[in-house]
Structure 1
Amino acid sequence: MENKHQSLTGQLNINIPLQATEKVAADQHDLYVLVKECIAQSRSAQKKLYDLYSPAAYGIIKRYMFGNEDAAKEILNDSFYKIFTKLDQYSFQGAFEGWIRRIVVNTVTDYLRKNLKNDQVTKEVQPEDGFTDSGSLGNLSFKELMQVVQTLPEAQLAVFNLFVFENYPHKEIAGLLDITENNSRWYLNDARRRLKDKINLLMQQ
């Protein structure tokens, strides 16, 4: 667990794949049939696909919309509307889970771009301050760490999620959220500073 903590807070190179709740796509033929039936407007096939992939999709959305259930449900509905309308564009060349994930994340960022209060950040971007106190991190469970992450302000939380969990570079984050690359770097550094302070405080309790 210590290595995961260091990866999350120090190196920031976590990659968490979206997984279905059942092994639906283990066989490529089964996936092909399911997708084709959805394209043909089979309600039962669409329900099956939704039931299989919506829990994981909702989990991704909740990382960005913590405490805002209404917005999370709205984004989930919008995501699956896009998934069903774009299924004919899926080429079966890459992982279906990754294809769904990209749509979900893009839908989240569409919402954030419209709703984030984007104050222009004029502060100088400081060098990234990774968390190096592995002893403290080793005493903190991953669940506790994620609870701390969810306390970040919305802009910092959005940038942190995109950088850490989606592995997006600052240039892409800036485009997705309609902010500057400098904004993105500042929000990430501020998020890491806030997390470090909160974790240190938690360790003192």
Structure 2
Amino acid sequence: MEKELLLQCLQKDRNAQRKVYEKMARKLHIVCKRYVNNDEDIEEVLADSFYRIFTKLDQLKDHEIFEAWARKITVNECLQKLRSMKALNISIEEDWVESKGIPTDSISFEKDILKLLNFLPEGCRTIFNLFAIEGYPHKEIAAMLSITEGTSKSQLNFARKKLQELLVNHNI
């Protein structure tokens, strides 16, 4: 992100904030969608994320890491939303596949994988996102979610196995 644009945002310039929003909204929306399923909740988390980004911008020390910083704020907002909905259920549900209808439309492989993530139980999907996509280590995930590292690892393993099953069973 351009340093000049961020400096204008620090001065509460609405046009600069709009430009930052336009540049980042799509990327951060995709992050939200990996954690939260409901479109209204996604929009709420996205709005909360941008509010936090613009109000905490003075804490950013290096404009070159703005995108990663904004992404981290968005992930934290998603986790906060999940906690508030009490939807973060860290448990393995044996019948989770049977209770879900898997979409059969074929699009790109990456989009199919992201779509399949929605069919994982909330807890292991969240851990998979944090570890495999966001790059957080198990120790940090455990601290963020108030679980043990072992639980984080077992949920990641469960998510990977179920994703492999879905990929094989549905020829994706």
Structure 1 length-normalised TM: 0.69
Unpaired runs of 5+ residues, structure 2, are 93-107
CA distance in 2, matches of 1:37, 1:94: 16
8 Å Cα contact 2:32-2:42 kept in structure 1? yes
Q: Counterpart in 2 of 1:163?
A: 131
Aligned residue runs from structure 1 range 73-88, under 5 A: 73-88=43-58
Aligned residue runs from structure 1 range 76-155, under 5 A: 76-92=46-62, 94-117=64-87, 141-155=109-123
> 1:146-172, CA deviations, whole angstroms, 9 ceiling, x for partnerless residues?
222221111111000001011111111
8 Å Cα contact 1:148-1:195 kept in structure 2? yes
Q: Provide closer, same or farther for how the CA distance between residues 178 and 113 of structure 1 changes in structure 2, counting only shifts above 3 A.
A: farther
Deviation of the 1:84 alpha carbon:
0.4
**Greater Rg by CA:** 1
Q: Counterpart in 1 of 2:19?
A: 48
Which shifted more, 141-150 or 160-169?
A: 141-150
The one of 134, 150, 158 aligned to 1:182: 150
Compare relative contact order (CA 8 Å, sep 6+) and give the higher one, 1 or 2: 1
Deviation of the 1:201 alpha carbon:
1.1
Unpaired runs of 5+ residues, structure 1, are 1-24, 26-30, 123-139
Deviation of the 1:180 alpha carbon:
2.1
CA distance in 2, matches of 1:159, 1:120: 9
Deviation of the 1:118 alpha carbon:
5.2
Residue type of the alignment partner of 1:153: P
Q: How many residues align?
A: 157
**Per the alignment, in what secondary structure is the counterpart of residue 21 of structure 2?**
helix
Q: Counterpart in 1 of 2:6?
A: 35
Q: Counterpart in 2 of 1:60?
A: 31
Deviation of the 1:191 alpha carbon:
0.9
Deviation of the 1:62 alpha carbon:
0.5
Structure 2 length-normalised TM: 0.81
Q: Counterpart in 1 of 2:141?
A: 173
> 1:107-127, CA deviations, whole angstroms, 9 ceiling, x for partnerless residues?
1122223334455659xxxxx
